[in-house]
Amino acid sequence: MVGIDDVARRAGVSTATVSRALSGRGHVASATRERVEEAAAELGYVVSASASSLATGRMRNIGVVVPFLNRWFYTSVLEGAQRRLMQYGYDLTLYNLSGSSNERSTVFEQFLLRQRVDAVIAVSLELSAEEVDSLHALGKPLVGVGGPIRGVPTVSIDDVGVTRLATEHLLSLGHTVIGHIGGDVDAEMSFHMPTNRRLGWEDALRDAGVEPRPELYFPAVFTMESGYVAAKQMLGDPRLRPTAVVVASDEMAIGVILAARDMGLDVPRDLSVVGIDDHELAPFFGLTTVAQFPEQQGERAVELLMRELEQTREAEPANLQLPFELVVRSSTARPRPEREPRG
C-alpha cells in the first residue's frame, strides 16, 4: 500500500512537505506543491481522512447552513463555497432549515456542536448571540453571508444600495411613477433585507424629488409565482399602474414580466422592469438587473473561514461588502409620452 514516505521519495521532499502540500496547511512553494501532487497522482496516493483528523484534530469538513435550498441565490452561494472548499481540500455538509420551525434549534444545539464539522458558514441567517457563543466555545470558527453579525466575520452586499441603483436607472430614463415589489416587511426574518431594499427605492425617489407612493409597494415572497400575483394586483388598476417597477429579486421580476404579458402589456413599451440578482434566466427574458454575484459571496466566505481556521486572518472589515453592478438589457426603456407624468 502506497504511503506518504513513498510520495516523499518520488517527489524528493520530506514527509512534512508532502503533508503540507496535500493538506493545504502551511506554506509550500507552488512548484514544490505541483511536484508533490504529481507524485501522489502517479502513485495513486490519497490522504487518509482519519489519519489527517487524528494528526490535526480536524475532520476537514465545513458545515453550511441555509434557510432554503429551492431558490437560485442559495444554490449559487453553495456552488461558490463548495468550489473554493474543494480547492482547500475540505468537504461540505449542508444543513437546510426550510422544514419545521424547530429544525434551526436542532441544527445549532445538536448537529453543529458535535465533532462533525471544523467550522460553519451561515447563509442569510442573522444568528443570535447564544448560537454564536455556543460555536465559539467549542473552537468552531464561524462566517456569515448576508449581513453583519456581532463578533463574526461576514460578507454581504448593500441591500439599500442595490435598489437605489435600480431605481436611479429608471429615473435616468425619465420614469417618475415607479412601483416596488419586495419582500413582506411584516414577515421579514434575517438582516431586514426587505426593509432595506424598500428603503433604497424610497431614498432614490426622494433624492430625485419624487415622493414614494405607499400604494405602489406590493409585498411578495421571492418566488416567480409570488411576483406574478403581486404584479397582477399592481397592474390591474389602470389608475394606479406605474410605468416602471423595481423588483427585489429576478425570480419575482420574471413573474412580473409574465403577468404584464398576460395582461396585454408590452415590456418595456408599457412597463419597464428591473430585478436584482442576475439570475441565470435573466438574459433569456431580457431582464435588466443589478448583479450581486452570489457565487463570489460563497467563495469569499470560504476564504475568510480559512483565515480563521489557519489563524492567519488579516485585517478585514467586520462586514465585508462585496460589489454589485447594473446590467442593462431589454426590459427597460424610456416611458411612453402619454404615460408620464401622472398622479
| Domains (range + CATH), the chain | 4-47 (1.10.260.40), 61-156+294-320 (3.40.50.2300), 159-292 (3.40.50.2300)
Q: What is the pLDDT of residue 50?
A: 47
Q: Residue 126 contacts by C-beta under 8 Å, 6 or more apart in sequence?
A: 146, 147, 149, 189, 190, 191
CA distances 102 to 66, 97, 108, 109, 308, Å, are: 14, 9, 10, 11, 29
Assess contact for 188 and 126: CB atoms under 8 A.
Answer: no
User: Which pLDDT band, with edges at 50, 70 and 90, does 16 fall under?
Assistant: confident
Percent over 90 (pLDDT), the chain: 59
Residue 37's identity, in one-letter code, is E
Give the pLDDT confidence of 230-253 residue by residue, as tens digits.
999 999 988 889 999 999 999 999
Average pLDDT, the chain: 88
Please give the backbone phi and psi of residue 218, each rounded to the nearest 5 degrees, phi first.
-130, 125
> Does the structure show a pLDDT above 60 at 52?
no
Q: What is the pLDDT of residue 60?
A: 86
Predicted structure pTM score: 0.80
- Rounded distance, CA 293 to CA 228, Å? 24
Assess contact for 89 and 24: CB atoms under 8 A.
Answer: yes
Which range among 23-27, 157-161, 190-194 shows the weakest confidence by mean pLDDT? 23-27
Query: Of the ranges 70-79, 111-120, 187-196, 285-294, which is most confident?
Result: 285-294
Kindly state the average pLDDT of the residues 173-194: 87
> Does the structure show a pLDDT above 50 at 285?
yes
- Rounded distance, CA 170 to CA 178, Å? 8
Q: What is the pLDDT of residue 343?
A: 47
User: Which pLDDT band, with edges at 50, 70 and 90, does 310 fall under?
Assistant: confident
> Does the structure show a pLDDT above 70 at 99?
no
User: Which pLDDT band, with edges at 50, 70 and 90, does 167 fall under?
Assistant: very high
60 φψ region: left (φ > 0), alpha (ψ -120 to 50), beta (else): left
317-322 own/partner pairs: CB under 8 Å, 24+ apart: 318/148, 318/153, 318/154, 319/147, 319/148, 319/154, 319/155, 319/156, 320/153, 320/154, 320/155, 320/156, 321/155, 321/156, 321/157, 321/158, 322/155, 322/156, 322/157, 322/292, 322/293, 322/296, 322/297
